[in-house]
Structure formats: structure tokens, C-alpha cells
Structure 1
Amino acid sequence: VTPYSQYIAWLEAQDVEEAASYWKEYLLGYDQQTSIPTGKAGAKADGEQFEHVLCDLGKDLTGRMEMVAKQYHVTANTLLQTAWGLLLQKYNGSDDAVFGGVVSGRPAEISGIENMVGLFINTIPIRIRSQAEDTFADLIRANQQQALASQDYETYPLYEIQALTEQKQDLINHIIVFENYPVEEQVEQLGEGAASDFVISNAGMIEQTNYDFNLVVMPQEAMKIRFEYNAKLYDREAVERTQGHLIQLLEQVVANPNIRVQELDVLSE
């Protein structure tokens, strides 16, 4: 196995001033906070009690999202992040939204990085900006280019990025995680062929973040999004409403990727 020390050596060779300059420029002019409706007016998080709402996008919508992503040469992650950013803009009456995105942090230039054991994960800000005349197709293309540019600097620590801003640790208040380990598929494969008498039951995992709201995306044939929230701060009905708004928005943009941002409506009939 390639030793983790090779990654540390690579990390120490990175130009931190260039990274700081990139993130400062990336967040230039962003002077607000992006919030999600809690459903509890004036609620302050007194401790934490995490609950979740599981949203199943279904095979049909997932398939149409993948078709649009391929058509415009973007990833499903970029498409979903852009839609989420537009929903946040609607909630905040703004054309600018920032949230956290979790990156795997494994630089492709290190040989054997995919088999290396160690901590690589990082959270970086994702900024979605729009103008009324922009189409969804315009935005996903622009955001894909921006994501590629950010890749070179995604190992720069979040606390350093936050220090560059006036919001400091209040820069982001929730994160989106695109899970990329196909656990269910691995388990299903175990059931085929020689290992058919080998059964895994009651498997589970617990993850915790420092945020009161998380979107965990599971990219399967029917994509699932797990809305994890601190129930002491967020009301379940508000989270379910947010889920409905996101699906409504996704349905509109995959039906017509050239729809203008100002024409998007998050409310169903």
C-alpha cells in the first residue's frame, strides 16, 4: 500500500498563498448568510436531536437528471448542487448562495492514492450565483467549470477559508455530501455465485457532522437524498416542505434545461 507519508509530503509542497488567494477571490462580494427555513421561528439549538427525512427521487427522475447531465457534460453532483443553490436563492431572496460541499480530497497525481489509508476528506464552500436571464443550462456549465478550478485547492482547510471572510465560522451552516461508496452494490454482489451462503443483515452506520442540517446524496439507479436535521432547530414539516420544493425544481429543470432562473417556481399547484 502506498504510504500516507507520500500524501503528507505532497500536501506540504502545495502553494498555500495561491490557495488562499483563490478562495478569497471565489468568495469576494459574498456578504450574507444562506439559511434554510426552520419552521420554528426564533428557535435556538439547545443541544441536538438528529432526525431525518428520506427522499427517493425514483428511477424516472434520476434517469432524466442523468440524461441532462450527460447532454451538458456535467456531473450529477453539479446538477444537484446547482438546483439546491437555486432553491436557497429563492428562500433567501437573493441571487447568491453559499453552502458546504464535502470532497474526497484524494489528488489524482499521487500514484496509488485510491488504495491509501488515511484522512483526506475536507469541506469547501460551494457558491451558486445567478442572474434572472441565466438559464439552468448556463449555470450547470459554469458551475462545472468552477468545480474543476476548485479541485486544485480543495485540500486547503475550511477554517483557513473561513478566516478570509467576514462571516468566519458562520460562512456555511449546512453541507451536502455526495456519497461515492457503493455499499449496497457490494453487498448484493456477495449474494451472487460462490458466496451465496454468506449473508449480511442489520448493517448500519452512524456519521455526525458539526452542522444542524445535512443533505446526504446516495447516487443509485433511483437517487436518494437523506435530509438530516437537528429536530431542536428544524421542524419536520419544514424539512418535508423543503424536500417537496427541491423535487418541484428538479422536475422543471430536467423538463426544460433552458428555462430561465426567473421562471422557476418551487411551489406545486
Structure 2
Amino acid sequence: DEPTLPFGLSEVHGDGSGVGEAHRMLPQALNDRLREQARRLGVSLASLCHLAWGQVVARSSGRQQVVFGTVLFGRMHAGTGADRTMGLFINTLPVRLDLDGTGVAANVRATHRRLCELLAHEHASLALAQRCSGVAAPAPLFGALLNYRHNTPAAMAGSGTDDGLSGMEWLGGEERTNYPLTLSVEDFGEALGLTAQVVEPISADRVCGYMQRALEQLAEALEHAPNTPVRELDILPAEERTYLLEDLNRTAAAYPSERCIQELFEQQVRQAPEAVALVHEDEELSY
């Protein structure tokens, strides 16, 4: 009944020129750990990534129940011959996750079930999903998008004449969505990458960092403490945590430490009695 808007981003319009983009490959060890946990639980790696992204969306929107868009292939229930039919079948639909006190392992399985159930609706229009929700148009159902996509490894693409691209010159390309925050998980088969697109001033590289940290926390919890409440998964990389809690709080200043606090207060009263000493909501107190 209410859209989930990470970082408060909404009503973003324009031609995409204000969108920042960042790419990163995840460490091979993390890729291996995630794939091993997905096999052990009997779920898709995409389910683990959806849960991690849900935690990023939850922490950046201040909510425990989150809704974000997920990109569906569109050909799973397209009928006989769909594999030989040209055209764009992909669709985007909302998925809701509850980032609450449920254990991590149980929440991974619940996420997998919800994604499987969503496949039955892969051809439903987003307009229909909007009408089925309690979110009144024109408010968006969600402000964040996750695209889990399987890619040809870069080493194989354009490597020779076998791919039919001999003599072709690659000029460039650009992709954009209407959503202020988009994350693509690039599954290369034995490697994982992240591509983030986010409107300024939010840093796309920071978003990649949040997702990597969430995936690291998820792998750690599944390996050693699968009953850890999913809402306790952290998304802040160590460097950003240090910056927020220590660097920004280096506010030490010299003062006459040999004097008592009430003496310092009395001195301030004499110097500026009407200066504001305390603010609480709509009330102010002078010294």
C-alpha cells in the first residue's frame, strides 16, 4: 500500500544524463561461496541475490517490508515455439520481501518460493500489478529494480570469427531505465559482477559496495549461523562505516579542561545569555 523508495528517490525525470553508472566484479571466493550455499539449500543463486538486494533496499529506505521490481525472462510460460519466436519478451514485476526476524536460511527459501510463484504471472502487465496493489496511481509501485541476467563471458564474446562478428566495429552502447536505482547482477557462469545505475547525487559505486557487503554477510550467515535474523545483515563496507562513525565524528576541540562544566556554562551565560542553548522539536531554550 506504499511504494518503497531507497534514498528517498522518487519522481525522477529526464534523459538519463544525470545517471551515474558503476561496474565491479565480485571476488572469486565470494562467488564460489554463494554458489555453494545456493546448491546446499536447493535454491537458485538469483534467490540469494534478490534477498541481498532486498536488504540494501530495506536499509536505504528505512523499511522492513520492501517491494522492488525484478526483471523476468518472459519465455518460461510463453507456449510452444517461444524459443524460436523473435521479439522482446522480458517483463518487470514487483516482488515483496519481508526483512524481519526470520532466520537467513528460512528467508532464502521464502524468497525462492516467491520468485517461483511470480513466474506464473510473467506476462502480467505492470499496470495490472498496480491495480492489484493498494498504491494509488500515479505513484510508482517501487523505485528500485533488480535485473539478474546470464551473460556470455567477455573472453568468449567477440573473440574471433566463430561468433559471426568478424569485420564488425563496436561503436558503443548505453542502457537506461525509468527507475532511479537499478542494479544488474551479471552471472558469467563461474563469476559474478555488478552493474549499478543510480541518479545523482547517490554514488553508483557505493551502491555496488552495499550489495557486495550484503552478499558477503549473507554467505557468512548461511555458513556459520543460518538462524541469524535477516534484518541483522549489514550493508556498510568497513571503509564507509569508519568514515561515517569515526572520520565525520572527529570533532575534538581544545577547551579549558581544568574548569568544571557548570563554570564553563556560567561563562557562556555571561558572554551570550540569549544565544540558543537547546532545541527540541519546536521549543528553544537560551543559555
**TM value normalised by structure 2:** 0.70
Q: 2:202 aligns with which of 235, 249, 252?
A: 235
Answering whether residue 119 of structure 2 is matched by residue 151 of structure 1, we say yes
Question: What are the ranges of 5 or more consecutive residues in structure 2 without an aligned counterpart?
Answer: 239-287
Q: Which residues in structure 2 correspond to 1:115-194 (within 5 Å)?
A: 115-132=84-101, 134-167=102-135, 168=137, 169-182=139-152, 184=154, 186-187=156-157, 190-191=159-160
Could you say which structure has the higher helix fraction? 1
CA separation of 1:195 and 1:141: change in aligned 2, threshold 3 A:
closer
Structure label with greater radius of gyration? 2
The aligned amino acid for 1:113 is: A
User: In terms of mean alpha carbon deviation, does 249-258 or 42-51 score higher?
Assistant: 42-51
Count of residue correspondences? 230
Contact 1:61–1:251 under 8 Å retained in 2: yes
Question: Cα–Cα, structure 1 residues 118 and 212, in superposed 2: closer, same or farther, change >3 Å?
Answer: same
Q: Would you say 1:224 and 2:189 are equivalent positions?
A: no
**Structure 1 CA distance, aligned partners of 2:214 and 2:123?**
32
For CA contacts below 8 A with separation 6 or more, give which structure has more relative contact order: 1
Corresponding position of 1:248: 213
Contact 2:54 2:99 in 1 (8 A): no
TM-superposition CA deviations, 1:34-91 (whole Å, max 9, x none): 12227x9x99656531320112212111111111111111111111011110222222
- TM superposition score normalised by structure 1: 0.74
The CA RMSD measured in Å over matched residues stands at 2.9
Q: 1:158 offset after TM fit, Å?
A: 0.5
Alpha-carbon distance in 2 for matches of 1:199, 1:187: 14
Task: Give the Cα–Cα distance (whole angstroms) in 1 for the partners of residues 157 and 233 of structure 2.
Answer: 40
- The one-letter code of the counterpart of 1:144 is H
Letter in 2 for 1:101: T
Stretch deviating more after TM superposition (104-113 or 62-71): 104-113
Residues 195/67 of structure 1: CA separation in 2 closer, same or farther (3 Å cut): closer
